[in-house]
């Protein structure tokens, strides 16, 4: 028994987290993409960037965790897109900015990787699970591709999903136990510990000002690579070859507050000299230190873990079964109504690449979409990257 027939004529008997999310978000969009084969014409820079970062991390682990390997592998992949038209968000800006962000993110990962509970990792593992075993729907399965399965020295296992994002995750304890994808993966694998390895991009990677948070990419002035600081001052100097060199004065948030309180108390005649003496004292006490631009990054890496108990996992299984039955009903009855919205917070239609079809605007449709069928291979691994943490 199949769940639906794809545009290539292939009988599909499984659903993934991303395909169920697509169906629940808009049944018409599911029909257009999965059954009729409409795909967005423009390649998304965020999608290709995420895949390049993921591949670099995997290469790094699988080749002995040698310094520079993750950075070099990312660059090798990303250089292939230098002349390929990609669609970028305002934060990503262009290919060059993502090249710098990716280079810094992978370098930062090399700095912090041994602090993470990612041990003996296995990558891109395919898991399948019968949703209705022993019933008339016995053939229907849930499919998931696990980015990383970490097995600690004591045998404990953790499912780690890699994401690229424009902002950090909520750090409320165990909040990630509410994430739909991680909940499904825990139910699918029987592994209760789950985590996101979140690579956070930073718009305008070379734009700095007082108060910008940065992380050291190398040891500097007695501080260790991987430590985070705030910028206190930005200066531009001329290098020996005549080029401009950006120099950043760094400190901690506590020092910034303490310094500003001291400096704000000074006014009147001689205040400039008095303030300079205070700043010099902070330098002497090594509470302020100066680095060159290449030593820091505005990008960040988060590892956030959660625990999904047996009761929650069973609940997820029930929800997956319900979603798949609704999908099966829609396919059997050929009913895929539009679930539209143009006003926030449900304004998905404003940005949907399929809107030209729904509006019966063939010109807009052809600008944004291309229809794929025939030998095209369905790949749920690519769909999982489409659910990046871009919100």
Q: How far is the C-alpha of 344 from the C-alpha of 356, rounded, in Å?
A: 20
* Model pLDDT for residues 70-89, shown as the tens digit of each residue: 999 999 999 999 999 999 99
Question: What whole-number distance in Å separates Cα of residue 31 and Cα of residue 338?
Answer: 10
DSSP 113: G
CA 251, CA 231: separation in Å to the nearest integer?
7
The pTM of the full predicted model, rounded to 2 decimals, is 0.91
Q: Cα dist. 118→48, 61, 72, 110 in Å?
A: 24, 10, 21, 13
Query: Which pLDDT score is estimated for 275?
Result: 93
> Can you tell me the mean pLDDT for 286-291?
96
Model confidence over 97-146: pLDDT tens digits? 999 999 999 999 999 999 999 999 999 999 999 999 999 999 999 999 99
d(CA 68, CA 49): 18
Residue 60 to residue 65: CA distance in whole angstroms: 5
* 358-367 confidence digits (pLDDT tens): 999 999 999 9
CA distances from 369 to 36, 38, 354, 386 (A): 12, 6, 7, 16
- CA-nearest of 137, 129, 183 to 326 is 137
Share above pLDDT 90 across residues of the chain, in percent, rounded to a whole number: 89
**Other Cβ atoms within 10 Å of 266 Cβ, number:** 14
Instruction: Delineate the domains of the chain, giving CATH numbers in brackets.
Output: 1-203+299-391 (3.90.320), 213-298 (no CATH)
């Amino acid at each position: 028994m199949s769940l639906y027939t794809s545009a290539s004529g292939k009988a599909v008997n499984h659903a993934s987290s991303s395909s169920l999310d697509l169906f629940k978000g808009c049944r018409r969009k599911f029909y257009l993409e999965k059954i009729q084969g409409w795909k967005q014409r423009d390649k998304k820079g965020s999608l290709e960037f995420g895949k390049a970062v993921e591949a670099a991390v995997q290469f790094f682990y699988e080749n002995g965790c040698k310094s520079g390997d993750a950075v070099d592998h990312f660059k090798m992949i990303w250089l292939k897109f230098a002349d390929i038209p990609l669609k970028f968000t305002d934060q990503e800006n262009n290919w060059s900015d993502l090249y710098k962000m990716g280079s810094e993110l992978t370098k930062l990962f090399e700095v912090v990787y041994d602090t993470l509970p990612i041990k003996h990792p296995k990558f891109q593992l395919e898991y399948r699970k019968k949703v209705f075993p022993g019933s008339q729907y016995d053939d229907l399965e849930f499919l998931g591709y696990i980015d990383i399965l970490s097995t600690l020295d004591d045998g404990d296992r953790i499912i780690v999903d890699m994401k690229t994002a424009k902002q950090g995750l909520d750090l409320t304890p165990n909040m990630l136990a509410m994430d739909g994808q991680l909940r499904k993966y825990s139910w699918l694998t029987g592994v209760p510990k789950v985590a996101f390895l979140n690579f956070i991009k930073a718009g305008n990677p070379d734009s700095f000002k007082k108060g910008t948070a940065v992380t050291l990419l190398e040891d500097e002035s007695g501080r260790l690579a991987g430590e985070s600081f705030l910028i206190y001052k930005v200066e531009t100097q001329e290098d020996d070859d005549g080029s401009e060199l950006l120099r950043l004065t760094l400190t901690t948030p506590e020092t910034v507050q303490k310094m500003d309180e001291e400096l704000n108390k000074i006014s009147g005649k001689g205040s400039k000299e008095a303030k300079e003496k205070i700043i010099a004292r902070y330098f002497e006490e090594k509470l302020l230190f100066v680095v060159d631009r290449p030593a820091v990054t505005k990008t960040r890496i988060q590892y956030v873990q959660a625990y999904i108990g047996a009761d929650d996992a069973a609940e997820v299984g029930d929800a997956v079964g319900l979603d798949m039955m609704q999908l099966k009903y829609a396919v059997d009855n050929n009913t895929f109504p539009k679930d539209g919205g143009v006003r926030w917070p449900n304004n998905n239609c404003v940005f949907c690449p399929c809107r030209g079809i729904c509006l019966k605007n063939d010109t807009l449709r052809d600008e944004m979409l291309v229809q794929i069928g025939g030998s095209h291979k369905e790949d749920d691994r690519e769909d999982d990257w489409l659910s990046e943490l871009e919100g």
